[in-house]
Structure 1
């Protein structure tokens, strides 16, 4: 939300003051002061509040406060005599005087895509990526402190669920990167990504921290290093690793915050993130809860593309896992919801991913491959897109493509919610290659991974049976009957309609041998 008063416009997201559409040059602390005064224009703001907001509670002199007030007045055409904009309440504080109207940021296309203010729940999460602090960097490598954050901003901008503050705003905080309150207040950022880059010996090391600006809690941190002559590879690795980490940790944190809030007041994005948490548990009960959350999100904002894509995912699971007596209807619903998501946002990788998976249900892997390829083109760090591409290649027996995509998915997201699927597809490819011993090992890993469903246990049964590990196969048979007593070979081939005929015959025979 931006504010307009007189001939001025103050945009906290862009961290910009303009007059008659022309930018006004203002120091970061002065702009933070203006933002705080306008945001709290309904009451007088004390000096202590200003110190807390602008200086993070550090001890500052009255002269410093007076200097920033004077500069703020100059920026908006005011002065200490007229006080038409910022009025001094002698001995107590200051008050913002003009009438203010709210307006959307110039780049916003829909209210749902406005980033949330850090001090309120709901809205699309927003993130500020700061230039890295440098420790002992060689002069010729110093540029990396700006270059890597710039590459991170570009990569994160591909994520349709995350509002990324522009470099032009975040890099103005080069000298105050440790002042989290100042950064988050000035930029209205829910999350702040900071980093330290150092050059010990002949190596480059980068330490990353993702902070929730409301709670001041570090929700993710990591350190990556490489020899100086491999700095190009390190830059790519940092970006890929970070994007995958944020895909997991921010939605989890958003769902956690939403669950602590008043459920009657949750907005579309809060319901979406809670739904996502239930979705990745892959049980019938959680899938039903996820579906209700996505429906509530659409009720709050019918144009939230990701909520429609979420509904497509729940319908896909109903059909794929046979959670409904009418899988054909669920398949149609999966396609319908994915189409609506794409109508609303054709550039969302998640929407393209869900559309691609609907073509698994109709046994059209070639069409699925096109949609999934589009998802990974839109976001080259989209682990689940690569996993789904690997699954599609497995259906047509293209082992090299499948294995390469599996390796990419695993490197991008080693703790992905669909990790059981990544291992399960590898086991299926190894069955096709008649490496049954290796297939059994990967299938066991898949079936013991959190979220694994009865179809993954069926892969484990087949792989162990073909490897003549009969006791282990018998244990998986018991597990399948426990998870889904009426499971059949038809369920297996409906979910995995592989066109590789030799392995299909071996799998069918092994399932029959165990009573499926």
Structure 2
């Protein structure tokens, strides 16, 4: 809803006042006051009500309110003497008295259509990154309150699944106590990232909060600290830490909200996030459910690149975990869906990731590495891309590349859904180096990490058996049989076609010893 009065147009959705089609420069609090007055133009608005609406009920002086009213009058070519637009009701409040006409905004062509009964907003998630609020900052470091959010916006713009509001819009909201409802409405942002930056005792401390704008629920928060002379490293850590958190918390929240709605009303993005929620459980049932979600997303939007990449992922799991009766066909589907995704969006890291992993299934690790390197070049903070690169380097026996990529992946996403794979690849590489005790330690960690499947338990079985820990190996043998009764050594080597013949022979011997 926007309004016109005289030569002016006031648009709360865009959070903009314009005159004759040209924007009028107005401070956010002044614009908030003006919007509230116009919205309630049929009555007087008290000072307390203005304080609640604009300052969220924080203590504010009459002088501050009067200052904002004076600035609002100047913006609309009014003054305290004429009061042709904003009239003062002495001792009580203010009223908007100019004749205003309400305009119903036309829906944008690109907006997703959402079923009227749905409480989920639908469409691609959107985020506004606000300037950080400085507290006790050293003068020479005050610029960091803008510089770090700017770097975050640049990094988030690489994420194809998240719409990021431009700095020119979000940086208009920089004062303390800003109304998040106002920010969300003005910028059409579903999520808001805010922060506080301090410099106590020659250190820099940044506190971050990720908020769901509709529910006001804080989904994630963290605090990072570093000495002043390590501010460059801190800036890089903030960006990497944040992106890893967003990759987990926003899809989880989107899936949670989607579950509350009628499945028939869900749009492509909602089905996609529901698919992700099932995807990382690595069971036959959940993989099938994820596939159904991605198929519905493609039906709703055939041009949705990420939904095609999701279908590549589920087909990959069908082949890799032998969930399908025809693993070869599942492998071909993994490649086909990845190609479809890349044709629609060649710059999506997830599309490049799924294309790279499809080459594991055809024993072409060198080709896989090229695609995975492209995925991490497109998004340098893509933890799963680095994990997949480590896996591929392990297949070719490149230990330095394996361990380096694993450390990067773990640093970026210490609680990643593929964490079991990170530990499992380390264990597999240590077996190749004949470090069997260390391999057994990491394999145990891998197999007890959430999401670990029967192939990870087979790594633990082989590593413990090679380390002489036969009781532990026997326990893992029972666990493999429980998870997949028909598991075989052939399944193991189809999933891990390593080029190191010595380790392959040693593992094969131990698997045979335990009946595989």
Q: What TM-score results when the alignment is normalised by the length of structure 1?
A: 0.87
Are 1:14 and 1:165, in contact at CA under 8 Å, matched by a contact in 2? no
Q: How does 1:149-298 map to 2 (within 5 A)?
A: 149-176=149-176, 178-298=178-298
Q: How many residues align?
A: 496
Are 1:420 and 1:449, in contact at CA under 8 Å, matched by a contact in 2? yes
Cα distance in 1 for residues equivalent to 2:300 and 2:72: 41
SS of aligned partner of 2:171? helix
Unaligned runs of 5+ in 1: 84-89
Q: Which residue of 2 aligns with 1:135?
A: 135
Cα distance in 2 for residues equivalent to 1:311 and 1:8: 50
The CA deviation at 1:261 is: 2.4
Deviation per residue, 1:118-150 (Å, 9 max, x gap): x85212111111111112211111111111111
Q: Aligned in 2, Cα 1:57/1:172: closer, same or farther, shift over 3 Å?
A: same
The CA deviation at 1:104 is: 3.9
Q: Which residue of 2 aligns with 1:499?
A: 499
Are 1:428 and 1:459, in contact at CA under 8 Å, matched by a contact in 2? yes
Q: Which residue of 1 aligns with 2:462?
A: 462
The CA deviation at 1:176 is: 3.9
The CA deviation at 1:265 is: 1.8
**Is structure 2 residue 400 aligned with structure 1 residue 400?**
yes
Q: Which residue of 2 aligns with 1:102?
A: 106
**Is structure 2 residue 403 aligned with structure 1 residue 412?**
no
Cα distance in 2 for residues equivalent to 1:201 and 1:15: 39
Q: Aligned in 2, Cα 1:19/1:347: closer, same or farther, shift over 3 Å?
A: farther
Are 2:4 and 2:101, in contact at CA under 8 Å, matched by a contact in 1? no
Cα distance in 1 for residues equivalent to 2:488 and 2:152: 47
Are 2:189 and 2:213, in contact at CA under 8 Å, matched by a contact in 1? yes
Cα distance in 2 for residues equivalent to 1:271 and 1:67: 49
Q: Aligned in 2, Cα 1:100/1:36: closer, same or farther, shift over 3 Å?
A: farther
The CA deviation at 1:346 is: 1.1
Are 1:356 and 1:368, in contact at CA under 8 Å, matched by a contact in 2? yes
Cα distance in 2 for residues equivalent to 1:354 and 1:228: 40
Are 2:427 and 2:439, in contact at CA under 8 Å, matched by a contact in 1? yes
The CA deviation at 1:333 is: 1.1
Q: Aligned in 2, Cα 1:350/1:14: closer, same or farther, shift over 3 Å?
A: farther
Q: Which residue of 2 aligns with 1:367?
A: 367
Q: How does 1:49-88 map to 2 (within 5 A)?
A: 54-56=54-56
Cα distance in 2 for residues equivalent to 1:136 and 1:281: 45
Q: Aligned in 2, Cα 1:73/1:138: closer, same or farther, shift over 3 Å?
A: closer
Cα distance in 2 for residues equivalent to 1:220 and 1:205: 17
The CA deviation at 1:484 is: 0.6
Cα distance in 1 for residues equivalent to 2:113 and 2:245: 22
Q: Which residue of 2 aligns with 1:330?
A: 330
Q: Aligned in 2, Cα 1:121/1:111: closer, same or farther, shift over 3 Å?
A: closer
The CA deviation at 1:152 is: 0.8
SS of aligned partner of 1:302? coil
The structure whose Rg is larger is 2
Q: Which residue of 2 aligns with 1:306?
A: 306
CA RMSD, aligned part only?
Answer: 3.3
Cα distance in 2 for residues equivalent to 1:34 and 1:358: 56
Cα distance in 2 for residues equivalent to 1:295 and 1:261: 18
Deviation per residue, 1:84-126 (Å, 9 max, x gap): xxxxxx9899996255452649xxxx54699xxxx85212111
Q: Which residue of 1 aligns with 2:91?
A: none
SS of aligned partner of 2:317? helix
Are 1:44 and 1:95, in contact at CA under 8 Å, matched by a contact in 2? no
Cα distance in 2 for residues equivalent to 1:217 and 1:287: 30
Q: Which residue of 2 aligns with 1:86?
A: none
Cα distance in 2 for residues equivalent to 1:247 and 1:349: 13
Q: How does 1:340-351 map to 2 (within 5 A)?
A: 340-351=340-351
SS of aligned partner of 1:430? helix
Q: Structure 1 residues 238-247 or 11-20, which shifts more? A: 11-20
The CA deviation at 1:501 is: 1.1
Deviation per residue, 1:390-439 (Å, 9 max, x gap): 00000000010010000000010000000000000000000000000000
Q: Aligned in 2, Cα 1:65/1:198: closer, same or farther, shift over 3 Å?
A: closer
Cα distance in 1 for residues equivalent to 2:395 and 2:411: 22
The CA deviation at 1:289 is: 0.8
Q: Aligned in 2, Cα 1:82/1:35: closer, same or farther, shift over 3 Å?
A: closer
The CA deviation at 1:16 is: 4.7
Cα distance in 1 for residues equivalent to 2:444 and 2:99: 66
Are 1:47 and 1:93, in contact at CA under 8 Å, matched by a contact in 2? no
Q: Aligned in 2, Cα 1:450/1:12: closer, same or farther, shift over 3 Å?
A: farther
Q: Which residue of 2 aligns with 1:385?
A: 385
Unaligned runs of 5+ in 2: 87-93
The CA deviation at 1:344 is: 1.4
Q: What TM-score results when the alignment is normalised by the length of structure 2?
A: 0.87
Q: Aligned in 2, Cα 1:498/1:18: closer, same or farther, shift over 3 Å?
A: farther
Cα distance in 1 for residues equivalent to 2:201 and 2:120: 45
Q: Aligned in 2, Cα 1:351/1:177: closer, same or farther, shift over 3 Å?
A: farther
Q: Aligned in 2, Cα 1:430/1:28: closer, same or farther, shift over 3 Å?
A: same
Deviation per residue, 1:38-71 (Å, 9 max, x gap): 9x89x98995998766554679989789768756
The CA deviation at 1:28 is: 2.0
Are 2:440 and 2:464, in contact at CA under 8 Å, matched by a contact in 1? yes
Cα distance in 1 for residues equivalent to 2:325 and 2:97: 67
Are 1:35 and 1:186, in contact at CA under 8 Å, matched by a contact in 2? no
**Is structure 2 residue 352 aligned with structure 1 residue 358?**
no
Q: Structure 1 residues 321-330 or 134-143, which shifts more? A: 134-143
Cα distance in 2 for residues equivalent to 1:113 and 1:162: 18
